[in-house]
């Protein structure tokens, strides 16, 4: 189990939900707002050049305010950055 998974569980999350999200977040048992957030993050991660103002509007429609959208974007961008550094340097993943 990863560090992030343990933190999620400590906050009340379940191993089942972690597995669902890891396998395919679009099939996970999460709220519509969480689904919209993960869709935004997936697009930002995999196709950042495709991001438009409509993507943030979708989050606003799910009651995310500007601060929340900023935080979502910052966290996703940070993890993408750190993962690319780790991959580029050949850092080994921690054992599960």
Both 35 and 80 in a single domain? yes
Picking from 1, 52, 53, 8, the residue whose alpha carbon sits closest to that of residue 34 is: 8
Same domain? For 11 and 57 the reply is no
59 and 15 assigned to the same domain: no
Identify whether residues 11 and 48 lie together within a single domain.
no
The confidence score (pLDDT) of residue 22 equals: 87
Residue 89 and residue 44 share a domain? yes
pLDDT-derived band at 96 (thresholds 50, 70, 90) equals: low
Q: Could you report the per-residue pLDDT of 15-54, keeping only the tens digit for each? A: 999 999 989 999 999 999 999 999 999 999 999 999 999 9
* Residue 18 in tokens: 């972690």
Domain that holds residue 11: 1-29
Q: Are residues 73 and 96 in the same domain?
A: yes
Question: Distance between CA atoms of 96 and 66, rounded to whole angstroms?
Answer: 36
CATH of the domain at 89: 1.20.1290.10
Whether 19 and 37 share a structural domain: no
| pLDDT tens string 47-65 | 999 999 999 999 999 999 9
């Amino acid at each position: 189990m990863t560090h992030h998974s343990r933190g999620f569980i400590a906050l009340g999350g379940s191993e089942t939900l972690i597995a669902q999200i890891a396998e395919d977040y679009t099939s996970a048992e999460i709220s519509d707002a969480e689904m919209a957030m993960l869709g935004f993050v997936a697009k930002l991660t995999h196709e950042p050049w495709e991001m438009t103002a409509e993507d943030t509007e979708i989050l606003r429609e799910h009651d995310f305010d500007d601060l929340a959208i900023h935080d979502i974007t910052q966290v996703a961008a940070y993890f993408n950055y750190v993962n690319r550094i780790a991959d580029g340097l050949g850092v080994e993943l921690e054992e599960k």
